[in-house]
Structure formats: C-alpha cells, structure tokens
Amino acid sequence: MTQTTHTQATPAGGAERPRSPEFRLAADALRGLRQELFHDAFAYRPLPRAKADGRLARRSERVREGASWTPHVTVTGLGLLAMLIGVSTTSRPGPFALLCGVLALGPVLLTLVRPVGAFWVSLAATTITSVVGGASGFDWPWAPGSFLSHLTVLTVVALRTHPRVAAWMWAVTAAYGFVSESFGFGHLDTDVAQMLLLSALILLAVTVRHVRTQARREVTAQQTVTEVERSRRTLLEERTTIARELHDVVAHHMSVVAIQAEAAPYRVENPPPELEKAFATIRENAVAALTELRRVLGVVRAEDYEAPDAPQPTLADLDGLLANVREAGLEAEKAVTGAVRELPQGVELSAYRIVQEALSNTLRHAPGARARVEIGYVLGGLGLRVVNGPPPAPALIKPSPGAGHGITGMRERVTMLNGEMTAGPAPDGGYEVTVFLPVPADTAVEDAA
C-alpha cells in the first residue's frame, strides 16, 4: 500500500500578506502613543532641584539653597492660582466650589512627581469640574480654573519630557476637546479653540527650547572632543619634535663611538689580537645600533624634514638667543649661579628649548615686559627659572593663543628627563616657569671628560 502526502501551499493573502503604508503609519502612531503616554505613565519621577549658579548664589549658601527650589515654588504658585480661580468662578458655592479648586490644584502638583500621569489626571479633573461646577456660557469643557491648570500641566510635562510627548499631549487634548464639543448642549460656545491655540504656542516655545538645549549640548560635547583631540595632537607633535632632536643627538654620539673604535687600534703599536677584536666588536655594535636607531626613529620625521646642518643648541648658545629676543623688543637678562660645567647633550638641548619657549611666550603674551633667565648649576642637576613681569599696558594686548605647544612641550621634555616643573602666574602679575633637571654627578663628569 502506498501513502501519498499532499502539501498544501499557503494561499496568497494569508498571514504573511504585506501591510499597506497607511496601515504601518497608523500602527507606528499608536505604538508611539502607547509608548509616550501610557507606558509607565504614573512612574515616580520627582522634579530635580535647579542648579543655582548666579552671583548671589555663589556668595551665600542660604541663597543657593533657596534658589534651587525655584521650579517647585513656581509650579506650586501656578497651581494655587488655578485653585483660587476655580473656587471663585464656579456657579455652585460651598463644597462644590472647594472641590473644583482642589481638582484644579491636584494635577499641577502631580507634575512634580508623576508628570505624564498628571496629564491624564488633568483631563479627568476637567471632566469632573465641568459636571460638578455647572459650567455654562463659554466655559466648556474647561472652566477658568481648569483652563489654567491644564495649560500649566501641558507646559510642565513638556519641559520635563521631550517634544514627542508634547505633540501627543496636544493631539489628545484636541481629540478630547472635539469630543466634548459634541456633548456641550446648552452652551453658547466652547473654549476648545482657545485651549488649542494657546497650548500650541506654549508647546511650540517649549519645543524650540528643547531643540536649542540639545543643540547646545551637542556643540559643547563636540567642543570637548575637539579640545581633547587638539591636546592629543599637540602632545604627539611635541613628542615627535623631541624624538627628532634626540635622534640627531644620539646618532652623533653613536657615530663618534664607531669612528673612535675603528681608529683606536692604529694608535697603538702592535696591538694584541684580542684588543683589535674588541674594538672591531664595539664598532660593529655601534654601527648596528645606529642603523636600528635610524630605522626606528626615522618614522617620526616628516616628509619635508631635513636634519639640521649645525649641531643642536646648548646652554652655551643662550647669549645668542637673548640677543635675538632683545632685538625683538624684550628686555631680557641672564644670571648664572654655581660651577658651570658641561652636561649631557640631551639635558643641554632640553634646557635651551625650555628657555627658548618661555621667552617666546613672554613675547607673545606680555609684550613690553622684562624677563629674567636664571640658571643654577647644583650638585644633583640643573635648575632653570624664567620669569617675566606684568605687561606695561595689558588692555592693549591682543589675544595671541599660538599653537598651544608651549607648556606642553616644556612638560614633555622635563618628564623625559625625570625632572620637575612648575608654571603659573607670578605674585606681581607676571609669569614664572621653574624647572629642575636631575643630572647624576658621574654622568656630568664623564661627559666633561
């Protein structure tokens, strides 16, 4: 016996039938309405206290404490005003008037802790007030107190949420008003148009405020990122400059080692083979190290970078530097203390660059001021102090921020040599840079030898 299984195809138009654009648009709209106004509508979201940053707030702790409650006091005041209007305008005195006042105050106060839920409570309170308060004439469906209360609720909730919530609240308010108009028999007119017009203007202003705040926040974040990237780029540029200079210094010393190792056997008559082999090994290692150094550090050179023909500057060249800045209009003097001695070339180069950058900053930021360069040779290293006085006419100085490399470059050089540095305003209104570069005594003696 043979069994045959029949497979029935899914008919066209079944569960997998594509939806029309209109259907998808309506479904998205209902999903947005449910997400914004129904999902956790009565969640507890207390209104945060304001930040008091005014001049008076910075001077007094009591003023700062009171100013932080300004939003809560403002909302409560509007609620009490709506309550007074509700009590005074109702046509039914006694308990009904008090109930109308409470129904106007309640939704406003609820915005302080449950903002979205306050919107629904405001619509319910409006309905109860219209029935209990005996609204007549033009006060349908919003009595005067309920009118102010609902506008306040819309404004506070829109301020505390985002523009989508404001749009949905306005749409629901419009739908509520149009439905209420159909039940407004016996009324000369309604105040639905006034409510929709005023609420639209208020919510539009709140939306513009949200957009401006968001734009300002994004600009601030972008500026922060840009500043961080600029600082990082400046740091990398300074490290690249230092690496280039040290490459030239180290390459010079390694070349000298290789040449001396090669020439040393010829200075001694009949040197032993072991000595010749040792010098040959020294030369080979020096040449290999020099090759690797150029290969590794050569990547930091720019394509248009050319090694300087002259040797790197040292502290002995400071007189020429001071002469140049004097020609530029800066009155600079130099004072040297301690026993002057030759230091490692890296220390000499870094000290020269630090003094050069400090004097350049003086020319840029304090034109016309006097500068003093102090150099102290001590047992443990080298001390530098570059200080300038205040500019004679600070009001006439034009902003000159420069490339932002000055202090960063100094700190990089000091850090590279395990030194210490302080930079900041001087007591007399000028600026002071103090640096200490440690130099072991045996290193200085060997270099001098």
In this structure, are residues 373 and 359 in contact, taking their beta carbons and an 8 Å threshold? yes
- Kindly give the pairing relationship between strand 381-388 and strand 431-438: antiparallel
Distance, in Å, from the CA atom of 67 to the CA atom of 70, rounded to the nearest integer, reads 5
**Could you read off the pLDDT tens digit of each residue along the chain, which spans 449 residues?**
344 444 455 445 444 566 777 777 777 767 877 888 888 889 999 999 887 665 655 666 777 777 888 999 999 999 999 999 988 888 777 788 899 999 999 999 999 999 999 999 999 999 998 887 665 545 788 889 999 999 999 999 999 998 889 999 999 999 999 888 877 655 557 888 999 999 999 999 999 999 999 899 888 888 888 878 877 787 777 777 777 666 666 666 677 777 777 777 777 777 788 877 888 888 787 777 777 666 666 555 555 555 555 567 889 889 988 988 888 778 899 999 999 988 988 888 889 989 988 988 888 788 888 999 999 999 889 999 999 988 877 665 554 555 456 788 788 888 888 999 999 998 888 899 999 999 876 654 444 44
Among 141, 221, 138, 204, which Cα is nearest to 176's? 141
Burial class (CB in 10 A: 0-12, 13-18, 19+), 139: buried
* Sheet with strand 431-438: strands edge to edge: 331-337, 370-378, 381-388, 431-438, 420-425
Whether pTM exceeds 0.85: no
